[in-house]
Amino acid sequence: MENKLVLLAHGDGGRLTHELVTGLFLKYFGNDILARLTDAAALHLNGGRIAVTTDAFVVNPPFFPGGDIGKLAVCGTVNDLAVSGAEPRYLTASFLIEEGFPLADLERVAASMARACREAGVEIVAGDTKVVGRGQLDRIFINTTGVGYLPPDRDLGYHRIAPGDLVLVNGNLGDHGMAVLAQREGFGFEDQIASDCAALNGIIGELLRALRGIKLMRDLTRGGMATAAKEIATAAGVDVWLDEQAIPIGAATRGAAEMLGLDPLYLANEGKFLTVIAPEEADRAVALMRAHPLGRDACIIGEVRAGKGNVYLKTALGGTKFLDMLAGAPLPRIC
């Protein structure tokens, strides 16, 4: 009986989520576009192409250092479009609100969304509001759908990835997940960790306009960098080799994750993306990223090799370890 219930782990972005999406949703909704399971769907309309994506936001607590649910709802959807190679233009926003939620907080959320939209150059053009009785949902959930323009020459995808390509990241990993966890649990860490929540279409647009050798981009949300790397390796049928010493992690997040027994490679980010790029353009990509405020700590963290879909991490001591998708929500250690 209890094997037939939805578990929290079905929503963690890891293996169980994947099983739910492929085993249930694809079974009923399956079509050629959805079956690609990309961050955003590319649609052909009258000879042009647009990208569409949608995302629901249920972060707890709704306000956290570095952001809030509103900023997240804008940036998360903008980023899904951006990593797909699209130029984000329009958003819709649906608000699901619990009775008794302070109007002042709702206004804070709206103002924050407006600011994030201005910075990302997008507009909210349609919306919906629903209120449910007290206790029927937790404070506020937001769903946003995003529409972007796909320039005709943009072709990002797993099919372009080849052995020899390099893997880049635009900065420190794990800050968002740790910031939200610390805020929720009331951990008083000495150095407050702020979410990296930011719209990435600016920096990604610059890269895509300047460089032809970008094969694929992925934003590193639920499941973190390790899950994204594993998905890339599996989908492209290659191995990804990462260099542990090259992977940027901030000292505060590293310390907090260690204390809690969490691996920063599996913590969520909201302003970070992986880029797979032809080796001859990698240095230029790093330089371009570093010149942008959202890529100051950018670096090369690994390479693509021929293989069977595995992700390996070369440790500082010269050992090798294997990385898989997140399985089960990250939990604290107990001894």
Partner 1 sequence: MPFLEKFRDPAIGRGLLVKVIERARAVREKLGRPAVFMEVCGTHTVAISRAGLRSILGEYLELRSGPGCPVCVTDYADIDRMVAFASLPGVTIGTFGDMMRVPGSRTSLERRRAAGADVRVFYSPRDAVAYAAEHPEREMVFLGVGFETTAPGIAAVIAEARARGVKNFSVFSTHKLVPPAMRTIIADPELKIDGFILPGHVSTIIGRRSFDFIASEYGLPAVVSGFETLDIIDAVYRLLGQMLNGEARVENGYTRVVREEGNVRAQAQMAEVFEVGDASWRGFGVIPESGLNIRPAYRGFDAAARFEVAIEPPRLPRGCACGDLLKGKLTPRDCRLFGTACTPTHPVGPCMVSSEGACAAYYQYERHE
Binding site for partner 1 (CB under 8 A): 1-3, 5-9, 14-16, 19, 185, 187, 245, 260-261, 263, 308-310, 313-324, 327-328, 331-335
Q: Which of 141, 180, 169 is nearest to 267 (CA)?
A: 180
Strands (E) across 74-150 are located at 87-98, 123-132, 140-149
The nearest distance, CB 187 to partner 1, in angstroms, is 8
Instruction: Indicate the residue among 93 and 323 with the shorter CB distance to partner 1.
Output: 323
The nearest distance, CB 267 to partner 1, in angstroms, is 14
In this structure, what is the dihedral angle of CA atoms 169, 292, 37, 156, given to the nearest 10 degrees?
-90
Q: Which of 75, 78, 71 is nearest to 109 (CA)?
A: 71
The nearest distance, CB 174 to partner 1, in angstroms, is 15
In the three-class reduction of DSSP (H, G, I as helix; E, B as strand; rest coil), residue 55 is classed as: strand
Instruction: Indicate the residue among 159 and 321 with the shorter CB distance to partner 1.
Output: 321
Instruction: Indicate the residue among 40 and 268 with the shorter CB distance to partner 1.
Output: 268
The nearest distance, CB 8 to partner 1, in angstroms, is 7
The nearest distance, CB 331 to partner 1, in angstroms, is 3
The nearest distance, CB 89 to partner 1, in angstroms, is 38
Q: For 331, which DSSP code?
A: -
H helices, E strands: number in the chain? 9, 14
Strands (E) across the chain are located at 41-45, 48-57, 63-64, 67-68, 87-98, 123-132, 140-149, 166-169, 214-219, 238-243, 273-277, 299-306, 311-314, 320-323
Instruction: Indicate the residue among 22 and 320 with the shorter CB distance to partner 1.
Output: 320
Instruction: Indicate the residue among 47 and 188 with the shorter CB distance to partner 1.
Output: 188
The nearest distance, CB 134 to partner 1, in angstroms, is 18
Instruction: Indicate the residue among 31 and 245 with the shorter CB distance to partner 1.
Output: 245
Instruction: Indicate the residue among 128 and 258 with the shorter CB distance to partner 1.
Output: 258
> Sign of the C-alpha dihedral, residues 62, 89, 120, 87?
positive
Cis before 152 (ω within 30): no
- Look up residue 116 and give its two tokens: 């994030």
Q: For 161, which DSSP code?
A: -
